[in-house]
Chain A
């Protein structure tokens, strides 16, 4: 769970940075947060799970921020067209 959380967290950050128009990063980061939070319960993997949790939270915040910016940006482009 901890490894999966970390992978999903990193993927959600990459998605937010390079493909902000697609809300896939929001789904990936939510799954990452769930796995990271549950993974913290296993003492041997707690560190990696916390890293996955933090990456997923950052991924979720960035996904929402850039998705909202993207929406506003496209609205602006449409208006100026």
Chain B
């Protein structure tokens, strides 16, 4: 199986991921040029965030997915299929943060300056990824027959419920992510190189994700006590972001540059 075979069997999922990465890359490049930040470390951070992000998203998927038969993991074909399986968004974010920490340790670059003006890349990539999910039939919503309900004619190869109306939670999340990206961009233009934009993103997405989890119907995600894994991470993200926002605004009032 080579690239030419794959191009004949092209699926919208991979295309949407790549479109998202390209769009967010262009957005980030525009932002660093606007704020006169050197592009040398931008490309390094971009590469690390993609690499570590994919790794983190995969590792969290392996941790929370209860359907993996670990006794068969030594079988080559089964192991390959597990590696090629799903991803968890929050794992990607945690991986990206580790990637930035790694970049700071190795290159001693001003990671904070890049994150503060490029944080909008994250919701943009995520929005396109969710459109890919919608087209691929994964991460689907609860049964629903109202306006915009989606009906998948087949199980799409991944066990999607066939022939029933589902809430288009992927599209709703995509729209909300783009909305968050717009608000963050306005905040960056207002506050400049400040971590206010990062805190605002954590706060807004944490709340959105916590609520949207109730509209999800796919069962391949872990849960603990009353909430799913993503809801627990959302609670931590909202609390940490609220503290960060408070500290940033307090520093701003005292005239300290964040």
Contact = CB atoms under 8 A, between A and B. Distances in A.
A binds B: yes
A30 to B, nearest CB: 4
Contacts of B81: 74, 78
B13 A62 contact: no
B54 interface: yes
A76 interface: yes
Q: Is the interface of A mostly helix, strand, loop or mixed?
A: helix
B84 interface: yes
Contacts of A1: none
Interface residues of A, number: 40
A15 to B, nearest CB: 10
A41 B40 contact: yes
Contacts of B14: 64-69, 71-72
Which of A29, A37, A53 has its CB near the most chain B CB atoms (within 10 A)?
A: A37
Given A61-B18, A79-B158, 11 more contacts: A17-B2, A33-B44, A40-B40, A64-B14, A64-B18, A65-B17, A66-B6, A68-B18, A69-B14, A78-B157, A80-B157
13 contacts: A17-B3, A20-B6, A21-B84, A23-B83, A29-B47, A37-B41, A38-B44, A64-B18, A64-B21, A66-B6, A74-B84, A75-B158, A79-B155
Interface of A: 16-21, 23, 26-27, 29-30, 33-34, 36-38, 40-41, 53, 56-57, 60-62, 64-76, 78-80
Interface of B: 1-4, 6-7, 9-11, 13-15, 17-18, 21-22, 39-41, 43-44, 46-48, 50-51, 54, 80-81, 83-85, 136, 155-158
